[in-house]
Amino acid sequence: MKKLKQPRSYSDFTLEYLQEHLGISNAKKALRLLNHGVEPTDWLINTLEKGNLAPINTEKARSELLITPILLEMLSRNPHSFYYFSGNTFDVDPERFLKGRCDFLLTKKQTLNISAPIMAVFEAKDDNVDNWYGQCGAEMYAARLFNEQKNEPFRIIHGAVTDGYEWVFLRLEESMLLVDSERYYLRNLAELLGVFQTVIDFYQ
């Protein structure tokens, strides 16, 4: 059996390493996250249109111009349901390489520092989203450990990998990382916002 390369941080994790060393198996499944569409506000539509006037060719640009407006839209719709952190270091278990920076962490409590319980983890990428399920899965696993350490356990953690235009959602249940077989797109904002709302509602 080929020896898997040892990661140094979240970004080095693969699905194979997750399974062999952390016992997290994976499967593709229709998560059926879309219960109903949510029509975007004029503010969101206008903000995304203005953002597209700038070059969107890096992860940072995608995070700032495509993903952050969506999170702000959902925060304004659900002001007491979640809070989010952007670009924070999240070192949970350095000995197992569960360390590094997360693009976005969604928490249940609105505090100035990252606090449990964490609901979801989103990763912004500038290449094929399929290449990054391992990283997102490692961050989701670390989020669950963090919640347990803080006595705020959540059995299920959600996540997503996106290039800003295409979104693939994930769900960590026990020792199984489920990758949604459905994909959602920025060009259909109502569907994408509807999936966000389903994830937020899951923790109410």
Residue 154: pLDDT over 50: yes
List, for residues 8-22, the tens digit of each pLDDT value: 899 999 999 999 989
What tokens does 169 get?
């959602």
Q: What is the DSSP string of 100-140?
A: SEEEEEEESS--SS--SPEEEEEEE-SS-GGGGHHHHHHHH
Kindly indicate the confidence band of residue 194, based on its pLDDT and cuts at 50, 70 and 90.
Answer: very high
Identify which has the larger pLDDT, 99 or 52: 99
Mean pLDDT of 116-133: 94
Residue 189: pLDDT over 70: yes
Give the predicted TM-score (pTM) of the model.
0.94
d(CA 81, CA 184): 23
List, for residues 41-94, the tens digit of each pLDDT value: 999 999 999 998 999 989 999 999 999 999 999 999 999 999 999 999 999 999
Q: SS in 3 state form for 129-185? A: HHHHHHHHHHHHHHHHHHHHHCCCCCCEEEEEEECCCEEEEEEEECCEEEEECCCEE
Mean pLDDT of 188-203: 97
Domain boundaries, the chain: 10-202
Of 198, 144, 195, the residue nearest 167 (C-alpha): 195
Q: Which of 52-61, 92-101, 187-196 has the lowest mean pLDDT?
A: 52-61
Q: Is the CATH number of domain 10-202 3.90.1570?
A: yes
Mean pLDDT of 104-118: 93
